[in-house]
Structure 1
């Protein structure tokens, strides 16, 4: 994630380069370092260096890095001829490079030649089965073709190898939710909470999934995770506060008020309701009446 300081530095340097103040190479290096996508700018300023023999030769070995950077930016901008020319230069310089091979497959993707791209990726994986980039490209290709079930299959295969990739677990969870496969999504969020127990987003998402699944046990567990979300955020999460109220109401209806957990924590829902009212008074006073009527309908 890019910090505010880095964002300011990047924007300042970008404005400088755009206005003819120099520093194009420094800007391109910073874009790479921060791993941000400024494809149009990278394409424009990268080509200005590559098309100037003097500037290009001054880069030394970094010339090849720039060709790769410009090729990717060109594909983002659908300037496929430019990407093709950059990749040709790299192929000539590094004829056996697997990294260049990935660029070739990316170009095939950009052209919509999915089968050809998959053949290249399969060949590259034979040489290096642990190439994370290629595994992720397979997921991206499936999504690009609207093949969500295929994306799920590739994500699961990827996570069999790279179980510690939190972003992949989250992507899989969100994909399952989009297909209303809530039990599978719940499993993914359980994995995320086990590996990163202090991230409130995962507690909240897990609680939402359990609430959606319904049933007394799921609702009780959802309530606990809404509560942990509130704890992790210092009581500042409006969605989790409302989740406590919704779960309390649903549990009361299912258990007819005899649920042991509610008897042990009778004040939890009233505290959540009070906190919600305070939040709405400060941030959305025009909607306070609607909130109060909603809470009353929930008998909170």
Structure 2
């Protein structure tokens, strides 16, 4: 996750380079370090260095890294001729390289030559089954073609090898949610919470999924994860507070006559509703009356 300070630093350096007062290579290094997706600027600034013999020679071995970055940026910007020229330079320098072979397969993908790209990726994986980028490219390619079941299959195969990749778990969870496969999505969010227990978004989304699944046990667990989201955000997450109200209302309908549970639910509901109304009154007063009316409908 890029911080606000880091983003401001990148924007400032980008502006300096565009106005002739900054170092393009420093900018590219910062984008690389922060793993940002600014392909148009990488292409623009990268080509300005590569097209200047003096700047290019000053890079030393980093020249080949820049050719690779420019090739990928060009593909993302659909400047396929530029990508091809960069790949040709790398092919000449590193004949038979698997890394360059990966770029060749990515170019096939960018051209929409899906079958050829799949063949190329499969061949590369036979030589190196642990190439994370190729695994991810195959999943992305399947998704781009609308073959969601194949994308799920590829991501699951990838996660069998790289279980600690939280980005892959999140991608898989979002696909399952889009398909209304909530039980499978819940499993993904459980894995995310286990690996990164202090990320509020995972607690919140897991609670949303459990609430959607419904049933007393799921609602009670959802309520706990909405509560943990509130703890992790210092009580400032409106979505989690509203989730508490939804859960307590639904649980109240399922547990009528159980005095102890009704009392606990009622207290929690009241506290959450009060905090939610207070927050809306301060930050979004125009919608305060609408919120109050909604909460009255959920009153236990």
TM-score scaled by length of structure 2 = 0.95
Partner-residue secondary structure (3-state), 2:112: coil
Change (3 A) 1:208 1:257: farther
Residue 210 of structure 2 corresponds to 210
Return the offset for 1:21: 2.6
Q: 2-side partners of 1:172 and 1:236: how far apart? A: 28
Return the offset for 1:22: 4.8
Q: How many aligned positions are there?
A: 300
- 1:211-245 Cα distance to aligned partner (Å, 9 max, x none): 11111111111111111111221211111111111
More displaced stretch, 47-56 vs 178-187: 47-56
Matched, 1:8 2:8: yes
Matched, 1:233 2:233: yes
Structure 2: where are the runs of 5+ without partners? none
- 1:8-57 Cα distance to aligned partner (Å, 9 max, x none): 22222222221123512222222222221222222222222222223222
Q: 2-side partners of 1:259 and 1:201: how far apart? A: 33
Q: 1-side partners of 2:252 and 2:22: how far apart? A: 67
Partner-residue secondary structure (3-state), 1:202: helix
Return the offset for 1:4: 2.6
Return the offset for 1:2: 2.2
Residue 297 of structure 1 corresponds to 297
CA contact (8 A) 1:252 1:259 kept: no
More displaced stretch, 11-20 vs 141-150: 11-20
Residue 103 of structure 1 corresponds to 103
CA contact (8 A) 1:227 1:240 kept: yes
How do 1:280-291 residues align onto structure 2 when only pairs under 5 Å count? 280-291=280-291
How do 1:101-180 residues align onto structure 2 when only pairs under 5 Å count? 101-180=101-180
Return the offset for 1:259: 6.8
Change (3 A) 1:291 1:77: same
Q: 2-side partners of 1:101 and 1:196: how far apart? A: 35
Residue 26 of structure 1 corresponds to 26
Superposed CA RMSD in Å reads 1.5
Residue 85 of structure 1 corresponds to 85
More displaced stretch, 251-260 vs 70-79: 251-260
CA contact (8 A) 1:176 1:184 kept: yes
CA contact (8 A) 1:40 1:73 kept: yes
Q: 2-side partners of 1:264 and 1:32: how far apart? A: 51
TM-score scaled by length of structure 1 = 0.95
